[in-house]
């Protein structure tokens, strides 16, 4: 690994502990020992390493507010990063030389941080959850009431604050929007250390700014999230295509259907690397079916897998096959290559965890992850396929799942900080790569090549879970939202205390 490609910071910077920090009332919850700071110096990506000076294990949101306030009023403010599970891949949850806040501490040993309630005088329900909570725990708790949030991520062992700082997308987002479109209210600690409540009506600028705001404006300590009656079962289907045009046409058909259609639509590229690493996200195929799919992939080099799901109640089980068949009749997958499975709603939503367990058992989870996630406008998805799937990736292999699925712009709120392409339909492309031999540079070079290809061809993509090192790139990323974002930063985090790992604001405003 070449050291100059890692984001190291000068050692002299690291040993400077913010003055007065250990005299605060919260000092007994601040750890400065090298074991602790080393643990908080990298993330799931393992591409970036930069230790903080200290780590705060907060016992309440007030502890976080006290820390941020102390920094804000210091002569030399230090940076503070909330860290959910550190599932970022480019150091976004790091605070080089500053203080990392271990968000899960807020909920440790407590069972009052997820509360399901009914809206005043109405029939709608919501759940109030601590920003540190994992989505899997939110699911477990809401299911006790027969309810569940409606928009998810593929993997549920992520924190609520972490995904709401990005967007939170999965196969339900075409219908319900990303997770950020399903929030009623937030409690936030701003970069001045103020605790504020915000919603569509109360402090709306902060509310919209924080959602998709990459942790730049505030630390989410509570979110009020929409829930609805949870389905009991899921008929989960995978359909194989050898032709990209039919694959995307069918995906777009499925997301254009009404509420009566599929409840979840995703898709992926299956390449010649049939190893577990390319398909860790879930166990789906039987050994026999997998052999059949692999044979087809070896004939065509790369094939596409449309993944859809229909939710249902046990009481309507008798009609679900009929419903699925009526959808399948409209689609153009390879005859004989439709596979279906029946699982509980919980098993369906938590499907990626199985893959995680398998990779962990093989020592393949804690490896470098040079992931690239981008949103590509529908009008250019075919060019992307030819240039990237059939071009850049073809002679290599994907070294991990490659996700491809369409989303709808009208399900995103323009006022929120998250950025998407300016087209009614755009594709979420995720190259979720694992460098199992530690050799991540060539995969990262390939990611750069993909981005260069998009620039050259004028494909107006947007990075999701973005990573840039120059402010000019961030300005381009935010586009028309940049000025508003800078104004909000001036208002809520004028001393640039929060979330330094993104490197959006590196000099004073
Ligand atoms: P961290 O990585 O710890 O933090 C992420 C960012 O948010 C940092 O900038 C941090 O400072 C900030 N932050 C953390 N907590 C808070 C808070 N409470 N308030 C304000 N800012 C905060 N994403 C999807 O959208 N869809 C997916 O299907 C999906 N699948 C994934 C699968 C895997 C295996 C992994 C590793 C990631 C996946 N992600 C997915 C990406 C995920 O959304 C991001 O990693 C996200 O950052 C959440 O991770 P985290 O909770 O560990 O946050």
Q: Which of 29, 364, 350, 363 is nearest to 158 (CA)?
A: 350
Q: SS3 for 199? A: strand
As a whole number, mean pLDDT of residues 398-415 equals 95
Beta partners for residue 54, in sequence order:
99
Residue 121's CB is within 10 A of a number of other CB atoms, namely 5
Say how many Å lie between the CA of residue 104 and the centre of ligand 1: 13
Of the given ranges (179-188, 390-399, 436-445), which has the lowest mean pLDDT?
Answer: 390-399
What are the C-alpha distances in Å from 123 to residues 119, 126, 161, 176, 228?
7, 10, 26, 19, 10
Give nearest CA residue, ligand 1 atom 35: 87
**Would you say residue 2 has pLDDT above 50?**
no
Ligand 1 closest atom vs CA 85: 52
Atom from ligand 1 closest to the CA of residue 154:
28
Spell 353-383 as b/e; 16+ CB within 10 A means b: bebeeebeeeeebebbbbbbbbbbbbebbee
- Nearest ligand 1 atom to alpha carbon 84: 3
Residues 6+ apart with CB under 8 A from 448: none
The number of the ligand 1 atom at minimal distance from the alpha carbon of 81 is 11
Q: How far apart are CA 452 and CA 455, in angstroms?
A: 5
Nearest CA to ligand 1 atom 20: 219
Domains of the chain: 3-104+491-502 (3.30.43.10), 114-229 (3.30.465.10), 233-463 (3.40.462.10)
Above pLDDT 90, what percent of the chain? 83
Parallel, antiparallel or unpaired: strands 303-312 and 233-241: antiparallel
The secondary element (H helix, E strand) that includes residue 289 is: helix 287-300
Task: Write 115-120 long-range contacts (CB < 8 A, 24+).
Answer: 116/141, 116/142, 116/144, 116/145, 116/147, 116/227
Mean pLDDT of 228-244: 97
Residue 37's SS3 state is helix
Average pLDDT over residues 290-319: 92
The pLDDT score that the predictor gives to residue 343 is 97
Shortest CA distance to 450 belongs to which of 476, 435, 431? 431
To the query of whether residue 76 is one of the catalytic residues in this protein, the response is no
- DSSP β-bridge partners for residue 227: 125, 149
Reported as a single tens digit per residue, the pLDDT across 335-345 is 999 999 999 99
- pLDDT, average across residues 291-311: 92
What is the pLDDT averaged over residues 211-224? 98
- pLDDT confidence band for 396 (50 / 70 / 90): low
62: pLDDT strictly greater than 50 = yes
Active site residue 87: yes
Q: 167 C-alpha to center of ligand 1: Å?
A: 9
- The arithmetic mean of pLDDT across residues 202-224, rounded, is 98
Q: First CA to last CA across the chain, in angstroms? A: 35
- The pLDDT of 73-79, averaged and rounded, is 94
Q: How far apart are CA 233 and CA 419, in angstroms?
A: 34
pLDDT digits (tens, 9 = 90+) for 49-58: 999 999 999 9
Q: What separation in Å is there between the alpha carbon of 29 and the centre of ligand 1?
A: 24
Q: Among candidates 304, 321, 325, which has minimal Cα distance to 312?
A: 321
Grade residue 1 by pLDDT with cuts at 50, 70 and 90: very low
CA dihedral 281, 286, 290, 292 (to 10 degrees): -150
Structure confidence at residue 276 (pLDDT): 61
pLDDT computed for residue 508 by the predictor:
83
As given in the structure block, the two tokens for residue 119 are: 């809206």
Point out the catalytic residue in the list 102, 132, 141, 266: 266
Task: Please give all residues whose beta carbon lies within 6 A of any atom in ligand 1, as ranges.
Answer: 43-44, 81-88, 92-93, 103, 131, 153-155, 158-159, 161-163, 165-170, 214-215, 219-220, 465, 499, 501
Residue of 165, 374, 502 with the most ligand 1 atoms within 8 Å of its CB, for mutation = 165
| Interatomic CA distance for residues 29 and 18, integer angstroms | 15
Q: Can you tell me which atom of ligand 1 is nearest the CA of 218?
A: 20
Pocket test residue of 56, 79, 87, 166 for ligand 1, highest count of atoms within 8 A of CB: 87
Cα(158) to centroid(ligand 1), Å? 6
Token reading at 152: 């998810």
d(CA 175, CA 410): 10
Annotated catalytic residue within 154, 250, 263, 493: 154
pLDDT tens per residue, range 425-436: 999 999 999 998
Q: Which two tokens stand for residue 2?
A: 């070449």
Query: What would the pLDDT profile of 3-12 be if each residue is shown by its tens digit?
Result: 223 344 444 4
All residues at 6 or more sequence positions from 49 whose CB lies less than 8 Å from its CB, including other chains: 6, 7, 8, 41, 42
For range 98-120, the mean pLDDT? 94
Residue 419 clears pLDDT 90, i.e. is over it: yes
Catalytic annotation on 154?
yes
């Amino acid at each position: 690994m070449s050291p100059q490609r890692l984001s190291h910071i000068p050692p002299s910077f690291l040993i400077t502990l913010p003055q007065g920090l250990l005299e605060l009332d919260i000092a007994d919850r601040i750890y400065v020992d090298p074991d602790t700071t080393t643990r908080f110096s990298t993330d799931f990506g393992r591409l970036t390493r930069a230790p903080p000076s200290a780590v705060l294990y907060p016992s309440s949101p007030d502890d976080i507010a006290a820390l941020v306030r102390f920094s804000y009023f210091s002569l030399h403010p230090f940076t503070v990063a909330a860290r959910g599970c550190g599932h970022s891949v480019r150091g976004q949850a790091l605070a080089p030389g500053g203080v990392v806040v271990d968000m899960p501490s807020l909920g440790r040993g407590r069972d009052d941080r997820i509360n399901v309630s009914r809206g005043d005088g109405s029939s709608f329900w919501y759940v109030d959850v601590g920003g540190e909570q994992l989505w899997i725990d939110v699911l477990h708790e809401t299911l006790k009431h027969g309810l569940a949030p409606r928009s998810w991520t593929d993997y549920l062992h992520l924190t609520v604050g972490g995904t709401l700082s990005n967007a939170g997308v999965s196969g339900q987002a075409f219908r319900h929007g990303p997770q950020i479109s399903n929030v009623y209210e937030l409690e936030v600690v701003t970069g001045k250390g103020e605790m504020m409540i915000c919603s569509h009506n109360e402090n709306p600028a902060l509310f919209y700014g924080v959602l998709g705001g990459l942790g730049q404006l505030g630390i989410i300590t509570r979110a009020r999230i929409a829930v609805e009656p949870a389905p009991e079962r899921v008929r989960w289907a995978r359909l194989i295509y050898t032709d990209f045009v039919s694959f995307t046409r069918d995906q777009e058909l499925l997301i254009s259907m009404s509420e009566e259609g599929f409840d979840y639509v995703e898709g992926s590229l299956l390449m010649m690397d049939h190893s577990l690493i390319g398909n860790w996200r879930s166990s789906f195929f039987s050994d026999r079916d997998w052999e059949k799919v692999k044979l087809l992939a070896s004939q065509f080099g790369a094939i596409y897998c449309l993944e859809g799901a229909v939710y249902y109640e046990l009481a309507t089980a008798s009609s679900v096959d009929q419903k699925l068949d009526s959808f399948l009749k409209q689609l153009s997958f390879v005859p004989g290559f439709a596979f279906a499975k029946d699982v509980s709603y919980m098993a369906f939503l938590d499907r990626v965890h199985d893959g995680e367990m398998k990779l962990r058992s093989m020592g393949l989870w804690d490896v470098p992850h040079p992931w690239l996630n981008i949103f590509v406008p529908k009008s250019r998805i075919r060019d992307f396929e030819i240039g990237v799937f059939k071009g850049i990736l073809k002679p290599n292999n994907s070294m991990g799942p490659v996700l491809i699925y369409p989303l709808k712009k009208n399900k995103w709120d323009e006022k929120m900080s998250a950025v998407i392409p300016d087209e009614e339909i755009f594709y979420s492309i995720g190259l979720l790569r694992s460098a199992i031999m530690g050799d991540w540079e060539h995969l990262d070079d390939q990611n750069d090549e993909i981005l260069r290809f998009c620039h050259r061809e004028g494909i107006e993509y947007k990075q999701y879970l973005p990573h840039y090192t120059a402010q000019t790139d961030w300005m381009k990323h935010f586009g028309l939202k940049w000025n508003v974002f800078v104004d909000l930063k001036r208002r809520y985090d004028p001393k640039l205390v929060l979330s330094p790992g993104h490197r959006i604001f590196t000099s004073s405003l």
